Amino acid sequence: MSDQVVWEGSVTQAWAAIAWLSGLGLQQQQASLWPTAAYAVGLVLALWVWLWRERLKWPGVVASLALLSMAWSYSGVRASFKPALAERVPHAQSVVVRGVITDWPQAMRDGARFRFLVQARLDASGEWQTIEWPLKVSWYRMPAGVEPRAGDLWHWTLRMRPARGHRNPGGVDTELRDWRDGLAGVAYVQAKYPSARLAQGQGGRLLSVRDALRQRLLGTPLPARVHAWLAALVLGDRSLLREADWQALQATGTAHLLSVSGLHITVWAGLAWAWLSLTWSVLARWWPDWAQQYPRVVLASGGALLLALAYAILSGAAIPVQRAWLMLAVVMALRVINVRWPPHGVLAVVAMVVTAWDPWAISQAGFWLSFVAVAALGAVAASRAEGVLARGAQLWRAQWRMGWVLMPVSAWWLGQVSWLGFVVNLLAIPWVTVLTLPLALLGLVWVPVWSLAHWVLTPLIEVLMWLTQISGGVTWVRSPPAMWALAAMLGLWWAMRAGAGCWRWLGLVWVLPALLWRLPPPPHGEVEVWAWDVGQGSAVLVRTANHNLLFDTGPAYWSGGDAAARLMLPVLRRSGMDLDAVVLSHQDQDHIGGQASVLRAYPQAQVWSSFAMQEPTHQPCLAGRSWRWDGVHFAFVHPQRLHPGRAQNDQSCVLLVQARGGQALLPGDIGVAQEQALLPTRLDWRTDLLVAAHHGSKTSSSEAWLRALSPRWVWVQTGHDNRYQHPSPVVQARWADLGLKVHQTAQCGALRWRSDAPQLSWCERERNPHHWSAAPN
């Protein structure tokens, strides 16, 4: 095995990977899937062309196009065997079920949330029907003393529906995640019906083993925070991490350390390989014939791969972990068969193998961060250094340069850059993976070792908690389009590349488009209005050429958090938008649930509301208050005065926005009485855009109001299948009778309208359709 094999062909590994990944990406942009037969025929034809490429003209180009077509067809075939989200479970029905909790419940206010596998349902005839539905279940107002555990078999009445996420421009596509993971739907336990734990330990042998190890860890006399960090590190269980832990990890750019991924799998395999190699060397001195028969590279690589597989299974074998282990397996296999490829060739082939296993990996930030990081390290690595200090300096340079190369990828996917991460990860990565991880895994076999892991891990936790007090550790940045992010990444890679000489600084020119990009604002004198998809609640963004106003902040969620923190703030920050004013129409939680998050993020914003507040920038939204931004007129037209004892809805702020090309009216939750009071003096409000008052409730949207305003568009902000049945059927019939065009966030996702094109209303699900997403209905 002394001669090494070098792979040669008409298409290099790098170009092959580019063609393959491009094919996958193109197919995943399809709005709807073709018949499976069409993809199958395309796959066969592409494979035939690729096999005969050498007999055709320009074999390199032909092979690239064949690989692109092959990947496109392959991804289509795989997708066609996954049912759409809307087809997986009954639509908005109560179903009596039996099933097993398949992961560790995550605590939330007065309840818990967990994955649940339905194994049987009670049909109309009273018979149990065997079925398999993986669900995400929430149990609100859980009875005191009840503690659901992984592996429990339960009997419940669930209210379920197909999984349907929020669709906002630039937001996280949770529907893709649920569809890729095979989630059938979401449900909640109906407390008014009886429930019963039928048995324990029914989740299979693996889940029972993992749960037993978790209970063993939690039974040790260690601090709760150390329990949480060790459980995340060893078992992939992050349900015990508290909000303060997440804030510390995100602020220091170290969140990846407590998410079992390629870094942990690779380091663990490397340590195992070194230990097995040392063991082989010792045994080879005693049994040289055995050593020749079983080479070190075979035994060490195979053993390390098996130990990495054991760790992957123990941690739950999530899709990123499967991907990491597969990547490691390809590299180990190449080492065993003694194939010598350049580093970029190995990386390219690994990327192709990983995405053949999981075609939708390219839609995950972890995939690109992992591969770009490895590519960057290979590109910026200097010559081998001698001595401890020289190697330390080399490691620092590699970490620093890799951080800069990864910055455009982080900006595009996450919209943020952790400056502390540049320095902290240089210490934290070896501290966690080399020192803590082996001790944490050894504690599974010998419990006292966890005490040693505690003493090793605690100083790092304290340092990270202290670093969270440093302001500016994490900076939110604009997320440029993919083209400019790619250009910036290549430019920084060239600038940081070892041996590139003074010409390498020309790469910084490629970074400029990403730095200068901003979301195009409306022209002077015009306005753009967004209605966020926040579920059952209200949040509307109003943009002018240089200013932004947020009307209401969306709901707070029972499971924790709020719409502003989860959905709106990330998009605002990634788009580079600051808020100049915030209007809180009234005190209902579905309108001001995100108030604290918004005001904490934008403390300088002018605050208007219909209730008393302690904010230094607060003013009441009384009728007659008005101002002008960039040629656009803003005016409050209700309430005339504030009455502390009056119903909150009746005192909602009503904002009129008048631009050169059209105008919009945002009425909060006012009712018919307030509509009638406004009509006598305001019949000139011919409105292009009207946000339906009170989410289309039957207590609002009177016929006289609608006739007077005569809107081109009516927007309704509601949750899908909401329990209030908004909008009311009576009001919907009224809109239809008047011939009004209506868009609902429950059907469309986010909505967008511009005064310079008032006849158009953009529906997010129609503008950016995906074959896995719910249709706009």
pLDDT in tens, 282-292: 888 888 877 77
Work out the number of other CB atoms within 10 angstroms of the CB of residue 81: 7
Cα 714 to the chain's mean position, in Å? 31
Question: What per-residue confidence (pLDDT) applies to 391?
Answer: 64
Question: Where does the pLDDT of residue 377 fall: very low under 50, low under 70, confident under 90, or very high at 90 and above?
Answer: low
Q: Count of CB atoms within 10 A of residue 737's CB?
A: 10
Owner of token pair 């040669």: 8
Give the pLDDT band (50/70/90) at residue 109.
confident
**Top-confidence residue, 776 or 178:** 178
User: Phi and psi at residue 388, in whole multiples of 5°?
Assistant: -65, -45
Residue 146's contacts (CB-CB under 8 Å, 6 or more residues apart) are none
In 3D, which of 416, 405, 329, 335 has the Cα closest to residue 368?
A: 405
Residue 566: DSSP 8-state: I
Q: How confident is the model over 672-677, as a mean pLDDT?
A: 92
**pLDDT per residue as tens digits for the range 321-359:** 887 788 888 888 887 887 777 777 778 888 898 899 889
Least confident window among 123-137, 278-292, 441-455: 278-292
Predicted confidence at residue 153, as pLDDT, reads: 94
Q: Are 577 and 519 in contact (CB under 8 A)?
A: yes
Reported as a single tens digit per residue, the pLDDT across 38-47 is: 999 999 999 9
10 pLDDT band, cuts 50/70/90, is very low
pLDDT at 388 over 70: no
Is the predicted pLDDT of residue 435 greater than 80, yes or no? yes
**Cα separation of 290 and 312, whole Å?**
31
Long-range contacts of 34-40, Cβ-Cβ distance < 8 Å, separation of 24 or more = 34/76, 34/80, 35/80, 36/76, 36/77, 36/80, 36/81, 38/76, 39/73, 39/74, 39/76, 39/77, 39/80, 40/73, 40/77
For residue 457, give both structure tokens.
């891990």
Q: Is the pLDDT higher at 319 or at 731?
A: 731
Q: pLDDT tens-digit profile of 516-531?
A: 888 899 999 999 999 9
Tell whether the model's pLDDT for residue 213 goes beyond 60: yes
pLDDT of residue 645 exceeding 70, the answer is no
Query: At residue 186, what is the residue type?
Result: V
pLDDT at 506: 79
Q: 220 or 384, which is more confident?
A: 220
Query: Would the pLDDT of 400 be above 80?
Result: no
Mean pLDDT along residues 739-763: 92
**pLDDT for residue 742 is more than 80:** yes
Quote the pLDDT of residue 51. Answer: 86
Is residue 759 predicted with pLDDT exceeding 90? Answer: no
- Highest-confidence segment of 538-542, 565-569, 677-681: 538-542
What pLDDT is stored for residue 684 in this prediction? 64
pLDDT of residue 2: 41
Give the pLDDT confidence of 351-374 residue by residue, as tens digits.
898 899 889 988 888 788 777 777
- Could you give phi then psi for residue 222, rounded to 5 degrees? -110, 160
Condensed to tens digits (0 to 9), the pLDDT of residues 707-724 reads 999 999 999 999 988 888
CA angle 392, 393, 394 (to 5 degrees): 90
Name the more confident of 143 and 605: 605
| 421: its two tokens | 């991460």
Across the chain, what does the average pLDDT equal? 86
**Closest residue by Cα to residue 557 from 535, 582, 524:** 535
What does the block give as tokens for 513?
Answer: 């488009």
Q: Where are the alpha helices (DSSP H) in 255-318?
A: 262-286, 288-293, 296-314
Asked if residue 471 has pLDDT above 80, the reply is no
Query: What is the per-residue pLDDT for 157?
Result: 94
* Edge-first strand listing for the sheet containing 713-716: 626-629, 632-638, 654-658, 663-666, 689-691, 713-716, 741-744
Task: Quick: pLDDT tens for 188-206.
Answer: 999 888 889 999 888 888 8
**pLDDT value at 386 more than 70:** no
Question: Percent of the chain having pLDDT more than 70?
Answer: 93
Condensed to tens digits (0 to 9), the pLDDT of residues 447-461 reads 999 999 999 999 999
Q: What is the mean pLDDT of residues 58-64?
A: 82
Q: How far apart are CA 274 and CA 265, in angstroms?
A: 14
pLDDT at 586 over 80: yes
Mean per-residue pLDDT for 494-507?
Answer: 70
Q: Are 445 and 412 in contact (CB under 8 A)?
A: no
Q: What SS3 state is found at 689? A: strand
Cβ proximity of 415 and 479 under 8 Å:
yes
Q: Percent of the chain scored above 90 by pLDDT? A: 45
Beta bridge partners of 406: none
* Cβ-Cβ contacts under 8 Å for 530 (sequence gap 6 or more): 169, 540, 541, 543, 750, 751, 752
> Above 60 in pLDDT, residue 499?
no
pLDDT band at 7 (very low <50, low <70, confident <90, very high): very low
- In this structure, what are the phi and psi dihedrals at residue 741, rounded to the nearest 5 degrees? -90, 130
